[in-house]
Structures are given as C-alpha cells and as structure tokens.
Structure 1
C-alpha cells in the first residue's frame, strides 16, 4: 500500500494567501466603484423619470441588493461547490459575473428605449 504525501511548501501557502487577499481587494474595489457610480451617475441614467431623491434611493437600492445577492449566492453556489466541485462552480460564477457586467455596460438608458422600455423595465417595477 502506498501513501501519498500532501506537503505544502511555504511558497504555496504564500501564493494562496496573496491570491485570497487580491481577490478580496478586487471585490471590495468593485463594490466601492459601483457605489460611486450609483451615487453620481446611475440615478440620472436609469431612473430619470423619478424625483432626484427617489432616483438616488433606487440607485443605492441596487447597490444594497448586491450585498443580499452575495449571501444568497454563497448558500446556493457553496452547496453546488460541495457537490459538483469548486473549480466548476468558480468557472460558472465568474462567467455569470462577466455576462451580467457586460449587460450592465451595454444596457441603454431609459430614454433611448422608446416603447420597448415598459416591457423591459416592467419586471423591475
């Protein structure tokens, strides 16, 4: 019977720690940039028909929804990671984040939608 050695070198541990720190730093930087955009720009672009105060509340509500989505995603994708493998779930979540980020970037502001804007924005109202 053979035994498998599972020794971790110091460089592996340092690389894991730096990778974890870098991922967390990038995630929080993303949230801070989004909050800046929500406070300065989103209320004018995505909620122009609302009053200034209500548009700002709605824009910051999208920011707050991100924190709720993180908790829900942790429960859903954490369980999936345990069952089908963490690498596959990491690929799925990164792909989903990339698609959603791209859609936010190419989504036109409400005044440009014309008659289609009511059907596209109705699930959000």
Structure 2
C-alpha cells in the first residue's frame, strides 16, 4: 500500500516517471514544472505537471480514507479502508495513458492495478 500513500517530498520534484512503463517513456510529453496541492485534513495530494507550452501533461492523485478503530488497549487509531492512486501522462498523440491502483478492504492490503487510455486528463 505504500505506493498509494501521498509522497512526503515537498522540496523535490515529483517522480513523474514512477509507474510509467519503460516502453511508453519515449511516447509521453515530459513536464518541466509542477504544481502540488496537499490536503491537510485527510491523507491526499494532487500533482499536475506542465509542458513547455504550459499545458497539463502529467497528473497524479492519491488519497487514503480511514475509519477510527479501537485496539485491545482501548485506544483509537485510524485504519485505512480505501486508498486510490491515479497517475496519467499525456501522450504525443494527445491521448492520456492512465494508471490506477485501488485498495478497498480493511487495512487496504489487497491492491488492484491497471492501465487504460483516455481522451482527456483525469479529474
């Protein structure tokens, strides 16, 4: 599940090639600048990368939903119950290659991942 958690790297450029298949790296538009938005009340972030024309060419969304649980010592803790990560790269033909990971079980220990294509940047 660690790939689903938002990255704690505010001082560094996002690793926009993470999850991008090697065979597709030459087919994507590379970002030259990034905007990172972090949610402070829940574990979530959104990163958008822009090309030399200032058009979006990369996006990544990550969030984790939790529910309070009670442990054996009667202390509350937050347990992840749903996590999602969606990353997309604009291809040179203006389609989007989208990678999605979803974990929707107690503890988020079962992760489903897949790639797809889209005509627009995921929102």
Question: When the two structures are superposed, what TM-score results if normalisation uses the length of structure 2?
Answer: 0.29
Question: When the two structures are superposed, what TM-score results if normalisation uses the length of structure 1?
Answer: 0.28
Normalized per residue, which structure has more helix?
1
Normalized per residue, which structure has more strand?
2
